[in-house]
């Protein structure tokens, strides 16, 4: 079976109703990164940070995977598929994909502030001040904040280096190290980019650019790849 690696960003979940970060009207226009998505913000105003993620987690309970998430799960019929996502939502899981590596954490998990290995499934429940881990320390969102290391990045690069086909979907490629991952792909890897604003991205040569929304472009590409398999 050929190996497909799919790197996704906020754009794949846009048609499910989750705001992207950097499009006009996106989350980082409404909130300052330094107020809600850094460890310093957490130390300064824990309640604000918790509320930011609690709101987003409640919203996640209300939305559904879209045609793009579902089509990617179909690819598993004929390919070994590895999703590498910058998204903290669970829409790939709910869309039926089985191999998913989250680079920036997961909204449906909480983790201990005392021990990074203590991670708990919380579903769509809020985290509040006073929620503690088994060691008695405050729980925080299981999210990689700006300035923090991305623990899964080396594994993601190793997986990308093995890909026969790479699909990059709905990411502005602004945030490193995730944005540099495609450079780990081997020269003969077939590379596809699906993003309605694809022309803004400077990826270099050898890419097939599909300037569509994920919900339209991904099912078409998946159908083509299933025929070619």
The one among 5, 6, 7, 10 contacting ligand OAD by CB under 6 A: 10
For 137, which DSSP code? Answer: P
Residue whose CB is less far from ligand OAD, 80 or 201: 201
Per-residue CA distances from 44 to 14, 29, 62, 108, 119 (Å): 31, 21, 30, 24, 23
Residue whose CB is less far from ligand OAD, 159 or 169: 169
Give catalytic status of residue 104 as yes or no: yes
Residue whose CB is less far from ligand OAD, 110 or 214: 214
Task: Print the SS3 string covering 26-88.
Answer: CHHHHCCHHHHCEHHHHHHCHHHHHHHHHHHHHHHHHCCCCHHHHHHHHHHHCCEEEEEECCC
Residue whose CB is less far from ligand OAD, 142 or 165: 142
Quick one: tokens of 154? Answer: 């080396």
153 binds ligand OAD (CB under 6 A): no
Tell the smallest beta-carbon distance from residue 54 to ligand OAD (Å): 15
Per-residue CA distances from 25 to 14, 30, 107, 133 (Å): 12, 7, 21, 36
- Residue 205's SS3 state is coil
Site mask, ligand OAD, residues 88-117, x = CB under 6 A? ----------------x-------------
Tell the smallest beta-carbon distance from residue 176 to ligand OAD (Å): 10
Residues serving a catalytic function are 104
Interface contacts to ligand OAD, rule CB under 6 A: 9-12, 14-15, 20-23, 26, 37, 86, 104, 144, 170-172, 174-175, 195-197, 213-214
């Amino acid at each position: 079976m050929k190996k497909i690696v799919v790197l996704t960003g906020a754009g794949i979940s846009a048609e499910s109703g989750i705001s992207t970060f950097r499009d006009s009207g996106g989350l980082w226009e409404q909130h300052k990164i330094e107020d809600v998505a850094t460890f310093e913000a957490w130390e300064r105003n824990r309640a604000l940070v918790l509320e930011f993620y609690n709101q987003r987690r409640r919203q996640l309970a209300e939305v559904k995977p879209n045609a793009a998430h579902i089509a990617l799960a179909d690819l598993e019929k004929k390919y070994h598929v590895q999703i590498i996502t910058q998204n903290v939502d669970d829409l790939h899981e709910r869309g039926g994909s089985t191999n998913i590596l989250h680079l920036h954490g997961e909204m449906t998990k909480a983790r201990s502030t005392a021990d990074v290995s203590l991670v708990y499934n919380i579903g769509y429940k809020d985290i509040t001040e006073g929620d503690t881990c088994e060691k008695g320390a405050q729980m925080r969102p299981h999210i990689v904040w700006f300035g923090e290391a991305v623990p899964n990045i080396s594994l993601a690069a190793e997986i990308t280096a093995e890909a026969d086909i790479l699909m990059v979907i709905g990411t502005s490629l602004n945030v490193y190290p995730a944005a540099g991952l495609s450079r780990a792909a081997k020269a003969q890897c077939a590379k596809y980019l699906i993003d309605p604003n694809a022309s803004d991205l400077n990826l270099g040569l050898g890419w097939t650019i599909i300037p569509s929304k994920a919900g339209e472009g991904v099912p078409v590409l998946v159908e083509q790849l299933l025929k070619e398999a």
